[in-house]
Chain A
């Protein structure tokens, strides 16, 4: 049988009709033949609308325009515009035939060894995948989460299943791609992010960002969601929706997180959700515990062009010792002010925020050791394992620093086996619940690791 070009173009995806490079006739024929299905781009909800592509149902994120296509005042979704506008007159097309599948024999080439804690979790993940279940992998920062997945992915590929690892962050996708290529050298792998030309291709193994995953539809047998609670993406309903649409209904669902939400932590404690907990780093040394230090009304000091004395002396001390450090601040305005002050002390110091265009350059300079201290508003990259660093937060009381954010920040320190320790300091103007919870979270993980004999002493 000849495979229709429309079929092979669209299979595995759900796209607006106007994005299909095929004639109206071909599309209409396929609809009549029954293997092409259509859905409206938006549906009504009691309060407003729901975008069928991205799941947005926030009335503030819809607007309307005089539409030249339908001639009406047409509502559109403002949330997923970067993928092409979805409006009330948009129709989303998908293929309703199952995709052909391919079995891969002994696909895993990775030769490394798992730590005892990793091995235990890897077993649990593999079982969940084979049983098509849901599982949370709660692994501390630096536990070595990626390798834990390898045996499970190999087992799925042997069955001819399609596996997707999704994450909100392009950085992570880019960083993981070469590691997966190396681990599964004979398996077709597609990397989907905004700048990749593989994003229109379905493969046995797919690494995708949230936005690109929105195009996929009912195609994956195994869905792995990485960095579910990664700062600053702690609230990301779009990823959850993308995952729900891209997976097959009976697919297994694996969540990887260092900092599950409080609701999930409760569910796990009550046994309502299953979790594999890895409380120890792969090098077997305990997590550095954050110290709290009051620093007065630091915002007022910033207005006068000064840093609180203890914060400044913390910085000076690192510079003297030639120890690299991150200094986290809550917002961009403060980032600029703090950077200006510190550059008078050492002109090599730079400030980088999440949307800064020259972000990658500065991060590279920091990695190369050319920048002694980086002021930042966000966790930069998961892969930034600068071996020997300290971390401070200025204004740890700010709302933006949730338990999860603070645990992630503390998790930057002591990642490498050669330098497993370091200083984590939360400078604050009034201790918060979230700070206390973050410290308790870390201490509890260390206790659990000790109890299970996972720490090297």
Chain B
């Protein structure tokens, strides 16, 4: 088999379990697979970031979120699968910006496993949408691609307006600008637990904007599962 990322040949059968239980072989060679770093250890209860052993159970960022009356309790939790190391940065660039869609296959098992561990059957999967302009430019929505990896249906309930690149603004400015998300129809949200799917959790503003819209329409609680914690 050839590695999905580096294209070099490798032996995909690494242990007896795979043969015995007919598990799908890894699409990556051991070198590429080993370059991703799973988030593993003591986590901030809200944003899922790795914490020092002795630290309190929330990170400084989330403590600040908690103090905010408007935004404090919008998101129950985020969980991310991988840290944002240099390797991951390169892979994300190739996948999302260069548009090599098939790379998402490398995340199938870890992403589905994280979903089962932190969320599971009772949650409704809602991918973070792109604006129509961005979707046309990119050709696909990376959050939808991730949602498709899960063994549950996903619901395209949210829509997004086109807004300028967010990275130039401060956090406060970003919170205060109009929320880009809206509900194009009247999805049956009442009492539902929603898990938002996205590629990267950076400041948490995107998922909180989306969560706010869903809660406003009756959702019971909103969490997020993201591939990477930046």
Contacts and interface: CB of A to CB of B under 8 A. Distances in A.
Interface of A: 60-61, 63-69, 74, 76, 78, 81-82, 85, 87
21 contacts: A60-B7, A63-B101, A63-B102, A64-B102, A65-B99, A65-B140, A65-B145, A66-B140, A68-B135, A68-B139, A68-B140, A68-B141, A69-B136, A69-B139, A78-B100, A81-B94, A81-B100, A82-B98, A85-B98, A85-B100, A85-B139
A65 B139 contact: yes
Contacts of A81: 94, 98-100
B109 interface: no
Contacts of A76: 99, 101
Contacts of A68: 135-136, 138-141
A229 to B, nearest CB: 21
Interface string B129-150: 0000001101111001100000
A64 B140 CA distance: 11
A8 B64 CA distance: 55
Given A63-B101, A68-B135, A76-B99, 13 more contacts: A61-B7, A65-B102, A65-B140, A67-B140, A68-B139, A69-B136, A69-B139, A76-B101, A81-B94, A81-B98, A81-B100, A85-B98, A85-B100
Nearest to B94: A81
A78 B102 CA distance: 9
Contacts of B202: none
A60 B9 CA distance: 12
A67 B139 contact: yes
Contacts of A60: 2, 7
Contacts of B140: 65-68
A63 B100 contact: yes
Contacts of B138: 68
The 8 A-B pairs at the shortest CB distance, nearest first, are namely A65-B101, A63-B102, A85-B99, A81-B98, A68-B135, A65-B140, A68-B139, A81-B100
Contacts of B136: 68-69
A68 B145 CA distance: 12
A87 B99 CA distance: 10
Nearest to B98: A81
Contacts of A67: 139-140
Contacts of B145: 65
A149 B101 CA distance: 44
A214 to B, nearest CB: 15
A266 B26 CA distance: 43
Contacts of B141: 68
Nearest to B137: A18
B121 to A, nearest CB: 25
Contacts of B2: 60
A194 to B, nearest CB: 13
A77 to B, nearest CB: 10
A65 B139 CA distance: 9
Interface in B81-105: 94, 98-102
A60 B144 CA distance: 24
Contacts of B99: 65, 76, 81, 85
Contacts of A66: 140, 144
Interface in B107-136: 135-136
A87 B100 contact: no
Contacts of B102: 63-65, 78
Interface string B29-60: 00000000000000000000000000000000
A60 B1 CA distance: 10
Contact of B139 (A61, A63, A78, A87): A87
Nearest to A18: B137
A196 to B, nearest CB: 19
Contacts of B94: 81
Nearest to A90: B139
Residue of A64, A65, A68, A82 contacting most chain B CB atoms (<10 Å):
A68
A412 B193 CA distance: 66
A260 to B, nearest CB: 27
A60 B138 CA distance: 23
Residue of B100, B102, B139 contacting most chain A CB atoms (<10 Å):
B139
A68 B138 CA distance: 8
Contacts of B98: 81-82, 85
A68 B132 CA distance: 9
A63 B4 CA distance: 11
Nearest to A74: B139
B139 to A, nearest CB: 5
Contacts of B101: 63-65, 76
A67 B135 CA distance: 9
A265 B138 CA distance: 46
B162 to A, nearest CB: 14
A76 B101 CA distance: 9
Nearest to A89: B139
Contacts of A69: 136, 139
A334 B178 CA distance: 55
A390 to B, nearest CB: 31
Nearest to B130: A68
Contacts of A63: 100-102
Contacts of B100: 63, 78, 81, 85
Contacts of A87: 139
Nearest to B1: A60
Interface in B64-91: none
A67 B138 CA distance: 9
B33 to A, nearest CB: 16
B108 to A, nearest CB: 14
A351 to B, nearest CB: 17
B12 to A, nearest CB: 14
Nearest to A78: B100
A65 B144 CA distance: 11
B143 to A, nearest CB: 13
Interface in B138-176: 138-141, 144-145
B101 to A, nearest CB: 3
B128 to A, nearest CB: 15
A429 B167 CA distance: 56
